[in-house]
Amino acid sequence: MNISGNRFLITGGASGMGRHFTLSLARDGADVAFCDLNEEAIAEVVAEGAKLPGKVVGFKANVAVEEEVVKLITDAAEALGGLDGIVNNAGIIRDGMLAKKDRRTGEIKKLSLSKWQAVIDVNLTGVFLCAREFAAYAIENGTKGVIVSISSISRHGNMGQSNYSAAKSAIVALTKLWGGELARYGIRTGALAPGFTNTPILQGMRPEVLEKMVIPVPLRRIGEPEEMYMTVKFIIENDYFTGRTIDVDGGLVI
């Protein structure tokens, strides 16, 4: 599938990697719809996208809410004149150890159900809902398409991230499963599993903390959003790729 001339929806497209994916696809000639919850950031991305070859439109939507996802697919397809692909990028982090003893008080602290559920709702249920609605749209309209989902190196099990690791691991399984289910309709799937990437989350860390994070990375640096986009672009453009996950992590093993 060519990027230029086709139409894509990016979730969580107003910040971090999602913002880069949105603007890069438009830079490469695609028409792009994106969603986010931050209205100010949505407006900023739309304004920046106005300078690019492809059309950029933004919507406020919560990917964890079924009704909003159904409406998002409909609105995005209407705004762009159709949809050819989706990048499931929206995600949140609510870290915490499963259970631990406070060194000072001796109190046992547990990962709360609310933190667990919040991450599962956005990072996993959101991917399910968006993929389901896009697939249904493509099948109904008899069009081919591609579903790209963002997993993570944390899928291997990163301490303090029970919720996040569970969701990102599930994305890998679903990508393989959906690749088999949807192939008959000409719909491909693929996932990107980034390592540490230069996004606002990492940029907000203290330099000494970031330095310690980079030490175990064989390439001795964090990745750049453009390097992640190169992988998304590969998945979209390679019509013989489906059902697989690509790690882009500088060689780091967790």
Torsion sign, CA atoms 99, 103, 104, 106 = positive
Options 137, 164, 229, 240, the catalytic residue: 164
Cα dihedral across residues 24, 195, 98, 131: positive or negative:
positive
Smallest CA-to-CA distance from 251 within 222, 208, 210 is with 222
**Known catalytic residue at 229:** no
Kindly give the interhelix angle for 126-141 and 66-80, rounded to the nearest 10 degrees.
40
Give Rg (Cα) of the chain. Answer: 18
Active site residues: 164
